[in-house]
């Protein structure tokens, strides 16, 4: 069944009875996205938060010089969205674009707010989810500043082993924060060792 994956994801941190499960699922709608289509663009308001059930998307922004920086890749069983924009309902800083034909479950801001009213247990779920994400992002923010491109590439491979041969080097470079030219050079150098 379609909602198994999201219910299993939730059950990592909280238990829901049947009634709660039904209510929870009723707050989501399904959405299919074709390759290269956008869930969100910089400047729009993020009306939804997303749970990925199939495919792969990238969350990125374009800086003042026009370069693209990928903040995360969202794959099956991951949550994604522009949290700042979703929470504050201010214009988004990020684009979310499908790298493959993908499927997501989306929840609107209204339903997200409703969720906490109806099933307060979800405060706990998100407390723990955010706590874990925080640990990851604190680490990543430290690593981005102190690790070489080669170290970050090795980390990328560890973190997203399934993506290495699934997405373009151009996108990997944009995630690492280097030019595609330099990544190409790096890989050549690493292969020769």
Partner DNA sequence: AGAGAAAAATAATGTACATTAAGAAATTAC
Partner DNA sequence: GTAATTTCTTAATGTACATTATTTTTCTCT
Q: Report the sign of the C-alpha dihedral through residues 7, 12, 13, 18, in that order.
A: positive
Gap between the Cα atoms of 130 and 92, Å rounded: 20
Smallest gap from residue 30 Cβ to its own copies (A): 25
Residues of this chain, 123-142, that bind its own copies according to CB under 8 A:
123-124, 126-127, 130-131, 133-135, 137-142
CA 77: distance to chain centroid? Answer: 10
Among 116, 154, 166, 168, binds its own copies (CB under 8 A): 116
The DSSP secondary-structure symbol of 163 reads: G
Q: Kindly tell me which of 55 and 152 has the beta carbon lying closer to its own copies.
A: 152
Gap between the Cα atoms of 24 and 80, Å rounded: 18
Site map 9..48 versus its own copies, x via CB under 8 A: ----------------------------------------
Q: 26: exposed, middle or buried (C-beta count within 10 Å: 0-12, 13-18, 19+)?
A: exposed
- Residue ranges in contact with its own copies by CB under 8 A: 61, 63, 67, 69, 71, 83-84, 87, 93, 116, 120, 123-124, 126-127, 130-131, 133-135, 137-142, 144-146, 176-177
């Amino acid at each position: 069944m379609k909602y198994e994956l999201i219910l299993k994801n939730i059950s990592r941190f909280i238990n829901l009875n049947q009634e709660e499960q039904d209510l929870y699922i009723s707050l989501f709608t399904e959405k299919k996205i074709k390759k290269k289509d956008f869930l969100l663009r910089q400047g729009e308001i993020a009306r939804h938060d997303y749970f990925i059930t199939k495919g792969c998307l990238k969350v990125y922004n374009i800086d003042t010089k026009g370069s693209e920086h990928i903040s995360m890749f969202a794959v099956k069983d991951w949550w994604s969205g522009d949290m700042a924009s979703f929470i504050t309902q201010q214009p988004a800083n990020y684009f979310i674009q499908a790298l493959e034909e993908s499927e997501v479950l989306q929840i609107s801001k209204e339903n997200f707010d409703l969720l906490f009213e109806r099933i307060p247990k979800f405060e706990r779920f998100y407390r723990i989810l955010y706590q874990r994400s925080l640990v990851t992002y604190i680490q990543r923010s430290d690593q981005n500043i102190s690790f070489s491109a080669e170290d970050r590439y090795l980390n990328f491979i560890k973190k997203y082993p399934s993506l290495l041969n699934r997405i373009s080097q151009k996108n990997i470079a944009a995630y690492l924060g280097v030019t595609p030219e330099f990544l190409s050079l790096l890989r050549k150098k690493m292969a020769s060792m």
